[in-house]
Amino acid sequence: MDRLIELMPRLWLSAWETVYLVGIAMVIGGLLGLLLGLALYLTRPGNLLQNRTVFAVLNVIVNTFRPIPFIILLAAVQPLARLVVGTGIGNSAVIFGLVVGSFFAISRIVEQNLLTVQPGVIEAARSVGAGPWRIIRTILIPEALGPLILGYTFIVIAVIDMSAVAGLIGGGGLGNFAIQYGYRLFDPVVTWAAVILIIVLVQFTQVIGNSLARAVMRR
């Protein structure tokens, strides 16, 4: 317990690091995932910008990269991280890894939620003369917004989970804290302090997501 009190400043710093890693990764990965998810949805046969070839290629790419376990992916994309963010270690490299790791999953979740929009609703927009880009902005995304928010909430929580292995390439955050100061030094109190903070973070995210979704779905 004394050690925990001593480590308190470091614990808070780690919590903040987790929020920072996940936050930045979600802004970038979320946006990229939204674009790829839209591309998957729109090029699907029968949809607004249908294109069998593009759809098939995107599908294969997503199916190839999505199932790679994050701990392996994080190490594997190190050379790419050096190229893109200038370093293969530390928090910047971790953010890069989180973006790559969440990007494909987000695109699938976006695609699936867009597919819940009834085709007739899109057809009604076409029937009044709206073009594809207007339909995407003003009909498709607003109609799917509730499920999209829930999908993103799910992903944020998954990324919090993924960020726990950041220590592998020299990143920080609560996971790294728990391993470095709890697990390695045989101090379960410290480990559990980090676990509790992660639980709080996850709960908080879920509550925010649920209430936002409820607000846009009006129920």
Partner 1 sequence: MPLISLTNVTKTYPPRSRNESPTPAVDGVTLDVEQGEIHGIIGYSGAGKSTLVRLINALELPTSGSVTVDGRELTGLKERELRKVRLGIGMIFQQFNLWNSKTVWGNIEYPLAVAGVPKAEHQRRISELLHFVGLVDQAHAYPDQLSGGQKQRVGIARALATNPKILLADEATSALDPETTRDVLGLLRRVNEELGITIVVITHEMEVVRSLAHRVAVMERGRIVEHGDVFDVFSNPQSQAAKRFVAGVVATAPEGETLEALRSRHPGRIVSFAFADGGTGQSAIFLELTRRGVTFELVHGGIDDIRGRTFGTITLALTGDERSIDEALATLTPVATITEAV
Binding site for partner 1 (CB under 8 A): 118, 120-121, 123-131, 134, 138-139, 142-143, 145, 216, 218
Min separation Cβ 124 and partner 1, Å = 4
* Between 9 and 118, CB nearer to partner 1: 118
Min separation Cβ 131 and partner 1, Å = 6
**How far is C-alpha 83 from the chain's CA centre?**
22
Choose among 165, 188, 200: nearest CA to 15.
Answer: 200
Min separation Cβ 32 and partner 1, Å = 24
* Between 124 and 200, CB nearer to partner 1: 124
Min separation Cβ 113 and partner 1, Å = 13
Can you point out the beta strands (E) in the chain? none
Mention every residue, 6+ apart, whose C-beta is less than 8 A from residue 160. Answer: 18, 22, 198, 201, 202, 205
* Between 1 and 128, CB nearer to partner 1: 128
* Between 75 and 124, CB nearer to partner 1: 124
Contact indicator for 171, 81 with CB cutoff of 8 Å = no
Q: CA-CA distances (angstroms) from residue 53 to 6, 49, 115, 201? A: 59, 12, 19, 41
